[in-house]
């Protein structure tokens, strides 16, 4: 007796990608970001929710201020991360390959820069450019060629384990200083069931010693915000 597969039923009842209304409410003057229901954005654009940036700044903000407080966000997109960093009092220079409705963004490819506009880089890079399968870590290689004092990237938690396409050599050449493991799943698309875990990876030019792994909590950013 043949039992019919339930896969088609699951596909039919699976909720479709939705507009990220929570991010739109947080930034009422920004356009609502729509994520294609079929496939990813061709530039791997996922708006960063405020809590992800706030939690990171709660633990690394003091170090960034030590370096002058001027940040470059080279994948600014709709300005979600830029707006949060400015709300925390940082001076942020924003650029991106394409415009997504956020004012003041310099429309220029990251790879066209031969010097960094700020000593600190904080970004959620396009994963297709920083991963092993598609980009071979190209984004990180170019970042380090600019010689910033400090770089932080929001990445998939699996990224440090990548080995193929030159990633072993990349990790050896540019070891991370600090890694913050996000102890919640960041809901980039507002669908309510994010599939992956994330990390904040930090490269600090003044860091000495082995890579340090720390846990990062969403509540840390919320509690710090109450003090600002």
User: 3-state SS of 141-179?
Assistant: HHHHHCCCCEEEEEEECCHHHCCCCCHHHHHHHCCCCEE
**Residues contacting 32, CB < 8 A, separation 6+:** 19, 20, 21, 24
Label the pairing between strands 91-96 and 120-123.
unpaired
Q: What is the C-alpha separation between 93 and 198, in angstroms, rounded?
A: 24
Q: How many structural domains are present in the chain?
A: 1
42 domain residue, yes or no: yes
85 domain residue, yes or no: yes
pLDDT tens per residue across span 172-224: 999 999 999 999 999 987 777 778 899 999 999 999 999 999 999 999 877 77
Name the β-bridge partners of 121. 72, 151
CATH number at residue 166: 3.40.50.150
Residue 10 confidence class, pLDDT cut points 50, 70, 90 = very low
Question: What residues make up the domain containing 79?
Answer: 17-225
Q: What is the C-alpha separation between 76 and 109, in angstroms, rounded?
A: 11
174 domain residue, yes or no: yes
Nearest to 198 by CA among 183, 208, 211: 183
5 domain residue, yes or no: no
48 domain residue, yes or no: yes
Instruction: Work out the average pLDDT over 144-160.
Output: 97
Residue 37 has pLDDT above 60, yes or no: no
Helix (H) or strand (E) holding 27: none
Instruction: Work out the average pLDDT over 121-144.
Output: 94
43 domain residue, yes or no: yes
128 domain residue, yes or no: yes
């Amino acid at each position: 007796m043949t039992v019919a597969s339930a896969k088609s039923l699951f596909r039919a009842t699976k909720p479709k990608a939705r507009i990220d209304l929570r991010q739109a409410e947080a930034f009422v003057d920004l356009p609502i970001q729509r994520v294609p229901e079929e496939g990813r954005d061709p530039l791997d654009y996922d708006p960063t929710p405020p809590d992800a940036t706030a939690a990171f700044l709660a633990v690394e903000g003091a170090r960034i201020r030590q370096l002058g407080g001027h940040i470059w966000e080279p994948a600014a997109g709709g300005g979600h991360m830029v707006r949060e960093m400015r709300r925390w009092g940082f001076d942020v220079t924003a650029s991106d390959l394409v415009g997504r409705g956020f004012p003041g963004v310099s429309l220029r490819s990251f790879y066209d820069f031969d010097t960094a506009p700020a000593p600190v880089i904080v970004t959620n890079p396009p994963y297709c450019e920083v991963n092993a399968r598609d980009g071979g870590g190209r984004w990180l290689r170019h970042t380090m060629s600019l010689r910033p004092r400090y770089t932080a990237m929001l990445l998939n938690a699996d990224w440090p384990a990548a080995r193929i396409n030159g990633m072993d050599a990349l990790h050896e050449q540019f070891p991370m200083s600090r890694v913050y493991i996000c102890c919640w799943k960041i809901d980039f698309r507002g669908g309510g069931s994010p599939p992956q875990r994330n990390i904040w990876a930090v490269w600090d030019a003044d860091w000495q010693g082995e890579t340090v792994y720390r846990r990062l909590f969403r509540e840390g950013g919320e509690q710090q915000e109450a003090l600002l």
